[in-house]
Each structure stands twice: as C-alpha cells, then as structure tokens.
Amino acid sequence: MNKKIRISDLGRKDYKETWDYQTSLLDEIVSLKRERRNGESKIETPNYFLFVEHPHVYTLGKSGDINNLLLNEEKLKEKEATFYKINRGGDITYHGPGQIVGYPILDLENFFTDIHKYLRLLEESIILTIAEYGLEGERSEGETGVWLGVGTPFARKICAMGIRASRWVTMHGFALNVNANLGYFDNIIPCGIRGKAVTSMEVELGRKISEEEVKEKIIKHFKELFEVEEFIKA
C-alpha cells in the first residue's frame, strides 16, 4: 500500500479547470488499478492532495436542489460568479477568495475502504486545525462538515464538505472559510439547510488569518489521522 501523497498548491484557479484536473487524476488512478487487477502492472497507485482557491463560484451536488441558488444568470454575472452542477455529494455551496479548498484524490485501498471513516477523518482534520486557534469545531448529526455552536440557536458552519468516490478513489473535498467574503453565501441556501448561518475564522477571531499557516496545520493533522508516510511536493 502506497501511503505517500503528492501535494500541490494550485493557487487561484478556475473551478472547471480544477474539476477537469481532478477528474484526470482520478481516471489515471482507476486505470492503473484496473491494470493491476488484470496483472498488467505492478505499479503502486499514487495519491494526490490539491490546495486551491477559486474565483467566485457556486456548485450544486448531484442530489441538490437548484432552487437553493437564489440568483438568476444575470445576477450571477453582476456578482462576477459562475455556477456548475457537479458530480459530488451534497447540495449547493460557494467557493471564493479567502477560502481554503482541499481536494484529496486518494486511492482509499492504500489507507482503508470506508467512506464514512474517510469523511469523519476529513472533518477531524479541520476540527483539530481550528482548535489551534481556540475554535471548538463540532459535527452536526446528519450534516457533513464542521460547525460551531451546534445545539444552540447560533449554530454556524465553518467548513463544507462534499466528495465523490469511484472504485475507492476520492475526489472533491472540503472548503474552509478562513477570510472569505460571507456575503456571497446570502445568494444561496447553503448546503440546502435553512435557518443555520455560515461563518469564517476571520469573523470568529476578529482578525485576518494567515492562510498559509492554516494549510500547514491542516496537512499536519491530515498526515497524523490518515497515517500518511510522506507528503511529496509536486
């Protein structure tokens, strides 16, 4: 089992371009798995982890409701935002500047074959990261992602998650609001959940947060939780 991960920071990159890149990596891994199964190759399957920041974009998961997008095409243009219906789980969410988006593209057969465990460890990596800033991240029953104030009238989501897996290979991932403009969430019903707010590390802590520092902490906790042998910069 290959527990090394090739890590790349793509900087600010168009959503569709990044989605296509993720798909190409997933297809590469699935193809290699097929060759290994057929005895045509003994090459270990690679794993990838992409950090990226997207220009303003709304994405709707495969089981999502388009009515949770509260903007028409004209208003999207006014907001300089794009919209895509995509192949991850979950409903609608927003990505934009000031948000750390992470896309682990892993062959889970290198780690464990349990999607529920995968999602819980993704959440835990964020919970442990924001705990270093004094924020108590929590899970909300039946709602994937990381929240603050669960069980209070002030429950608010700080990190959204949605994934896709094919033959135990993952794509898509998480979006942590660090210094994001939360006004863009007013144009959707985030994750299709009414009556719950969205927050960011900046709002909670009252100051700008170093996104590079947060990425380093995410990687540290991800490495421990997933028992990663090594992160290799690509």
Q: Which amino acids are annotated as binding site for substrate, given as ranges?
A: 88-95, 160-162, 173-175
Task: Report how far residue 34's alpha carbon sits from residue 41's, in angstroms, rounded to the nearest whole number.
Answer: 9
In terms of Cβ atoms closer than 10 Å to its own Cβ (0-12, 13-18, 19+), residue 185 is buried
Phi, psi angles (nearest 5°) of residue 189: -100, 95
Tell which residue, 87, 96, 39, 94, has the closest CA to residue 64.
87
Residue carrying the six token digits 């992602």: 145
Q: How far is C-alpha 152 from the geometric centre of its chain's CA atoms? A: 25
Pair of tokens at residue 108:
């889970």
141's CB contacts (< 8 A; 6+ apart) are: none
- Please indicate whether residue 191 is annotated as part of the active site: yes
29, 191, 201, 209: the catalytic one is 191
Would you say how long the chain is, in residues?
A: 234
Estimate the share of the chain in helix, then strand, then coil, as percent rounded to the nearest 5.
35, 30, 35
Catalytic residues: 191
